[in-house]
Amino acid sequence: MTRPGEDAVGGVIDVAEAVRGGARSALEVAEACIAGIRAGDPALHSFLYVDEEGALAAAAAVDAARAAGEALGPLAGVPIGVKDNLCTAGVPTTCASKILEGYRPPYDAHVIERLRDAGAVIVGKTNLDEFAMGSSNENSAFGPVHNPWALDRAPGGSSGGSAAAVAGRLVSAALGSDTGGSVRQPGAFCGVTAIKPTYGRVSRYGLIAFASSLDQVGPLARSVRDCARLLEVLSGYDPRDATSAVRPVGQYERACERDVRKLRVGVVRDELEQVQDPDVRARVDDAIAALESAGADVVEVTLPTARYGLSMYYLIAPAEASSNLARFDGMRYGLRVAGADLTATYERTRAAGFGPEVKRRIMLGTYALSAGYYDAFYLKAQKVRTLLRRDFAAAFARCDVVLSPTTPTPAFKLGDKSGDPLQMYLADIFTLPAALAGLPAISTPAGLSAAGLPVGVQLTAPAFEEERLFTASRAVEDALWRDAPAPAFAAPRGDRSAVSSAAGAPSR
Amino acid sequence: MVSSYEAVIGLEVHAQLHTKSKLFCGCATAYGAPPNAHVCPVCLGLPGALPVPNAEAIALAVRAGLALGCDVATSSRFARKNYFYPDLAKGYQISQFELPLNARGALEVELPSGTKRIGITRIHVEEDAAKNLHGVGAGTDTLVDFNRAGTPLIEIVSEPDLRSAEEAEAYLRKLRDILMFTGVNDGNLEEGSFRCDANVSIRPAGDETLGTRTEIKNVNSFRFVRMAIEHEIARQQAVVEAGGEVVQETRTWSESHHKTRSMRTKEDAHDYRYFPDPDLPPLVVAQARIDAIGAALPELPDAKRTRWRAELGLTEYDAQVLSAHPAVARYFDEVASALCAQAGGAARDEVGKRAANFVQAEILGHVEQAGLDARFPVPAAALAELLRLVERDVINGKIAKRVLSEMIESGEGAEAIVEREGLAQVTDAGAIEAAVRAAIDAHPAQVAQYRAGKTAVLGFFVGQVMKATRGAANPKQVNALLRELLGEP
């Protein structure tokens, strides 16, 4: 059923310009998108819910606005998938957890409002590791996602559904969330560009919290330019998030047009030496060479504290999660499994509602915050985090961006690591430092492995210097990922009758 | 056997900050609304919702800190206190732990033995929980009303400086007074906007080390606080004297049985796993802002009473009565300042005292209190107009009461009423003399009594004259004339 190279939808800028110019109607795009999901997603399982009615209504509204001569937003008619840990008013939002099965939030997340205001058509909610905890999407309570480049491989996680839907050409782009690498790692595994903005750049209001001091919403798209357009829409101060930054938003799309001459690209030599995978080594070397030949200067930098990234992360993130997930107690919404008394109800509800990885992290975090252990674990990790920020500050005195692999290997096989949490955690080893330091980082494809799997390269910049990331990753894309190759799998072009016959039925 | 024991008491007071909206969202704090009328994703703890501090609440908390002599931190932190309970929507309460907003304050309490300084350890900001309603709806159900969830509170923690139930009560009354006068708290114990937990321990008199303490939770009247502490001291003493040991535990005061009973022991104590709330950056209050709040701090009740005694000649008792509620105090201040604007020195004392007496006798009975506000039968300016007529001898005190009734009834001004009803007192010496002479002529027996030295009869003659003039004669003139015409006794 897969027809390689087929793309019924189109990229973000392509669709927005076609709709604005009248070459395509938003409704036509939305219908093609939904038909594509109906036909293609059974193989990928990238969606948990398809909001056909909402999508068609939003598309019709864009067409009506255009017909009325109104100015169209930068994402007018662009079909977008949204990770299912972002609240969508009246539309199921589950975090891929049984504890929230059937939950419909009464309000839209800030980023959802931004998308709607920009004219985007939200087509549905994408699959993820339960509560965004995982690196393979195998922790979804509703079944894993398959990597469109090789259906037996993991799409990465936790934003695996978003990455697979974009790579599989089911949507123009998607929103994910990144706590320790959750947009960048699946972006690398699926061959799409994904950026985690500076902490505070995008409002977290309506993003169901995993680890509040790390969580950021970020876009995944087929190209660096598409990603830039999305981030420009998502960014900006929101008074409902006290950690939201009061700073002007950069000109990300324009930054894509700058060249990299004299840009100082920092490389951590020890880090590169440790990369075992020859494909990853080769593609990272390609990216460095591409930047150099485009006029960038490569300099060596060190990040001595980065080696403690995993230790820090697995104290801080579970500690915050143990508190953030306390609200899922069966009292007000979501699953309730009644017990003989209040305590039994809590225990039974949470035992039945949470999957094993979520429980593991709640226990880790509860322990790390306990009286007598707080100083040794949580507080110590926070102090090391300060050292890591200083490392980055020192590195950025010598360079403008830091380049590294996004992941130690290309996409691994489903089931390969699911029995060994520590091996799974190591998949995020390169993405954790930027998350812990609150810095913006982008992953963009730098070519394929010998086995035909995409390999990502990560660039990290100082806080609020996202523009540099777009400039530099555009140069990598231009040299190594021009015209965004599509995976062997792609959604076949659906037809209208398929859409209407499936109307209203969720995809799972 | 120890001959005498000393009690050591520390108090934790939860006072609701008098704001329009909740601590971390825009929902109203209004009391008495139908259940779950004032709720939103934030105070319901819905997934994805985030807290944003209410600037008004923070300003009030700073004001409380300054009024109680605390060091106000320019940077403090909100922390999460984690525990499970149905009235706690997020599974944690946002409070402050390691870095509170206010610390190291004190309160001076007047006791029969003199003034005592009670240390205040800290005053931190936190949100209130919701309210569980047991046995409502379908029989045994417990339902939760989230109207109260997220209401801003300060917790005021005292040093263990109190030594008796009386001292504790005096401290609480003083604290409530200060919080009300600064507009921080409405002082309403029944509605739970001022709640108290007491930590009580005993030790042999003279010992320096602290004994094992118990905590008595949520006692909701001053009388019950005193009773609960007295009972707890006696109970601990009985335990120790019987050779036992006091167990560290939380106890609850039973209003119906008038005793404390165990709620949970130390073994059941929660590990709250406090940590800084990552949703909220450090709470930064610029020193300039703290200084501005300090400069705008309303006059505290002690200062007000001292000023009234010094400037208006009020007695301590009058000053206490008129400062029992901030709205009453403000009302009296307005009346007095309007009246005393021209008066000075001793005359001012007289005017002040008379105004104080009139307000206590004629106004306080009609005042309807509602939280920090109060409804007065007539505005302060209108009352000042009435009392000015008395000061200018246009009417006398008795007529003033009648005019006040008219004012309350009709809402008209005092001068208009006096004019319309012809109540201006007779100051025409001829008319008064005629009335005085008539009274003397009509009562020869009383005249004889007076002249025989029974001067109390003077009051009888005053009454006769006032009756004849329908109360309109100037009593000073009447008195003077009567003495003159009756001659020396």
As a whole number of angstroms, the distance between CA B136 and CA B36 comes to: 14
Residue type, A33: C
- Tell me the residue range of the domain where A162 lies: 12-270+276-301+393-483
**Torsions phi, psi of B56, nearest 5?**
-65, -40
The DSSP element (H or E) to which B399 belongs, if any, is helix B397-410
- Assess whether B321 and B282 both reside in one domain: no
Within a domain: A124 = yes
| B245-301: pLDDT as tens digits | 999 999 998 888 888 888 887 766 789 999 999 999 999 999 999 999 999 999 999
Which of A208, A240, A374 to probe by mutation at the B interface, max B CB count within 10 Å?
A240
- Set of chain A residues whose Cβ sits within 8 Å of the Cβ of B273: 322-323, 366, 369-371, 374
Within a domain: A508 = no
Within a domain: A385 = no
The answer to whether the CB atoms of A326 and B91 lie below 8 A apart is: yes
- Closest-CA distance of chain B to residue A429, Å: 23
| B200-217: pLDDT as tens digits | 999 999 899 999 999 998
Q: Which residue of B has its CA nearest to A208?
A: B48
Within a domain: A113 = yes
Where does residue B375 rank: exposed (0-12), middle (13-18), buried (19+ CB within 10 A)? exposed
- Specify whether the CB–CB gap between B81 and B92 falls below 8 A: yes
The answer to whether the CB atoms of A240 and B271 lie below 8 A apart is: no
- Closest-CA distance of chain B to residue A207, Å: 5
The answer to whether the CB atoms of A323 and B89 lie below 8 A apart is: no
Residue A251 sits in a domain of what CATH number?
3.90.1300.10
The DSSP element (H or E) to which A397 belongs, if any, is none
What SS3 state is found at B116?
A: strand
Query: DSSP letters of A322-339?
Result: HHHGGG-SSSSSS-----
The answer to whether the CB atoms of A371 and B275 lie below 8 A apart is: no
- Closest-CA distance of chain A to residue B89, Å: 6
- Specify whether the CB–CB gap between A218 and A177 falls below 8 A: yes
The answer to whether the CB atoms of B273 and A369 lie below 8 A apart is: yes
The answer to whether the CB atoms of B46 and A106 lie below 8 A apart is: yes
Q: Tell whether omega for the bond before A135 is within 30 degrees of 0, i.e. cis.
A: no
Give the torsion through C-alpha atoms of B438, B443, B444, B450, to 10 deg: -100
Positions of A annotated as catalytic residues are: 83, 158, 182
The answer to whether the CB atoms of B89 and A207 lie below 8 A apart is: no
Q: Which residues contact A78 (CB under 8 A, 6 or more apart)?
A: A12, A15, A16, A19, A29, A119, A120, A121, A172, A173
A199 touches chain B (CB under 8 A): no
B89 touches chain A (CB under 8 A): yes
- Specify whether the CB–CB gap between B475 and B399 falls below 8 A: no
- Assess whether B282 and B398 both reside in one domain: no
- Closest-CA distance of chain A to residue B242, Å: 35
- Specify whether the CB–CB gap between B241 and B4 falls below 8 A: no
Q: Which of residues 8-67 of B touch A (CB under 8 A)?
A: 41, 44-53
- Specify whether the CB–CB gap between A448 and A484 falls below 8 A: no
- Assess whether B463 and B443 both reside in one domain: yes
Within a domain: A254 = yes
Q: Which of residues 58-87 of A touch B (CB under 8 A)?
A: 86-87
Q: Which residues contact B292 (CB under 8 A, 6 or more apart)?
A: none
What SS3 state is found at A149?
A: coil
Q: Which residue of B has its CA nearest to A131?
A: B47
- Specify whether the CB–CB gap between A62 and A35 falls below 8 A: no
Question: Can you tell me the ipTM of this complex?
Answer: 0.94
pTM assigned to the model:
0.90
Q: Which of residues 113-172 of A touch B (CB under 8 A)?
A: none
Residue type, A207: L
- Set of chain B residues whose Cβ sits within 8 Å of the Cβ of A342: 86
Q: Is the pLDDT of residue B197 over 90?
A: yes
CA angle B394/B400/B401 to nearest 5° reads 170
Looking at the structure of chain B, the number of domains it has is 3
- Set of chain B residues whose Cβ sits within 8 Å of the Cβ of A216: none
- Specify whether the CB–CB gap between B83 and B71 falls below 8 A: no
Q: What is the pLDDT of residue A492?
A: 47
Q: What is the mean pLDDT of chain B?
A: 91
Residue/partner pairs of B464-472 with CB below 8 Å, 24 or more apart: B464/B439, B465/B432, B465/B435, B465/B436, B465/B439, B466/B398, B468/B435, B468/B438, B468/B439, B469/B426, B469/B431, B469/B432, B469/B435, B471/B396, B471/B398, B471/B399, B471/B402, B472/B395, B472/B399, B472/B423, B472/B424, B472/B425, B472/B426
B92 touches chain A (CB under 8 A): yes
- Assess whether B408 and B433 both reside in one domain: no
Query: DSSP letters of B257-320?
Result: TTEEEEEEEGGG------EE-TTS--EE--HHHHHHHHHTPPPPHHHHHHHHHHHH---HHHHH
The answer to whether the CB atoms of B45 and A208 lie below 8 A apart is: no
The answer to whether the CB atoms of A327 and B271 lie below 8 A apart is: no
- Specify whether the CB–CB gap between A155 and A411 falls below 8 A: yes
- Set of chain A residues whose Cβ sits within 8 Å of the Cβ of B51: 242
Residue type, B436: V
**Torsions phi, psi of B174, nearest 5?**
-65, -45
Q: Number of C-alpha atoms within 13 angstroms, CB side, residue A173?
A: 34
- Set of chain B residues whose Cβ sits within 8 Å of the Cβ of A346: 84
As a whole number of angstroms, the distance between CA A134 and CA A182 comes to: 8
| Strand A173-178 to A79-83 pairing | parallel
| Strand B214-219 to B79-82 pairing | unpaired
Within a domain: A376 = no
Longest dimension (CA), chain B: 94
Within a domain: A334 = no
Any idea which residue has 């401290």 for tokens?
B171
Assigned token pair, A507: 């995809």
Residue B456 sits in a domain of what CATH number?
1.10.10.410
- Other C-beta atoms closer than 10 Å to the C-beta of A304 total 12
DSSP state of A378: I
Confidence band of B184 (pLDDT split at 50, 70, 90): very high
Within a domain: A491 = no
Q: A343-354 in b/e burial notation, b at 16+ Cβ within 10 A?
A: eebbebbbeebb
- Tell me the residue range of the domain where B251 lies: 5-289
Q: Which residues contact B469 (CB under 8 A, 6 or more apart)?
A: B426, B431, B432, B435
A383 touches chain B (CB under 8 A): no
With CA atoms as reference, report the closest residue to A215 among A226, A207, A223. Answer: A207
CA distances from B123 to B157, B302, B372 (A): 6, 21, 21
Q: Is the pLDDT of residue B489 over 70?
A: no
The answer to whether the CB atoms of B275 and A100 lie below 8 A apart is: no
The answer to whether the CB atoms of B46 and A333 lie below 8 A apart is: yes
Chain A and chain B share a number of CB contacts under 8 A equal to 98
What SS3 state is found at B342?
A: coil
- Specify whether the CB–CB gap between B210 and B160 falls below 8 A: yes
As a whole number of angstroms, the distance between CA A63 and CA A70 comes to: 10
Q: Is the pLDDT of residue B427 over 70?
A: no
As a whole number of angstroms, the distance between CA B284 and CA B288 comes to: 12
Looking at the structure of chain A, the number of domains it has is 1
- Other C-beta atoms closer than 10 Å to the C-beta of B138 total 7
- Closest-CA distance of chain A to residue B280, Å: 6
**Torsions phi, psi of A271, nearest 5?**
-60, -45
Longest dimension (CA), chain A: 70
- Closest-CA distance of chain A to residue B43, Å: 12
- Set of chain A residues whose Cβ sits within 8 Å of the Cβ of B52: 239-242
Q: Compute the residue count for chain A.
A: 508
| Strand A264-267 to A401-405 pairing | parallel
Q: In what order do the strands lie in the sheet with B152-158?
A: B71-72, B102-111, B114-127, B152-158, B5-16, B194-204, B214-219, B249-254, B259-265
pLDDT tens, position by position, for chain A (508 residues)?
334 335 889 999 999 999 999 999 999 999 999 999 999 999 999 999 999 999 999 999 999 999 999 999 999 999 999 999 999 999 999 999 999 999 999 999 999 999 999 999 999 999 999 999 999 999 999 999 999 999 999 999 999 999 999 999 999 999 999 999 999 999 999 999 999 999 999 999 999 999 999 999 999 999 999 999 999 999 999 999 999 999 999 999 999 999 999 999 999 998 898 899 999 999 999 999 999 999 999 999 999 999 999 999 999 999 999 999 999 999 999 999 999 999 999 999 999 999 999 999 999 999 999 988 999 999 999 999 999 999 999 999 999 999 999 999 999 999 999 888 888 898 899 999 999 999 999 999 999 999 999 999 999 999 999 999 999 999 999 999 998 788 877 544 444 333 333 333 344 3
As a whole number of angstroms, the distance between CA B395 and CA B416 comes to: 13
The alpha carbon dihedral of B190, B193, B199, B205 has a sign of negative
Q: Number of C-alpha atoms within 13 angstroms, CB side, residue A101?
A: 15
The alpha carbon dihedral of B393, B394, B399, B400 has a sign of negative
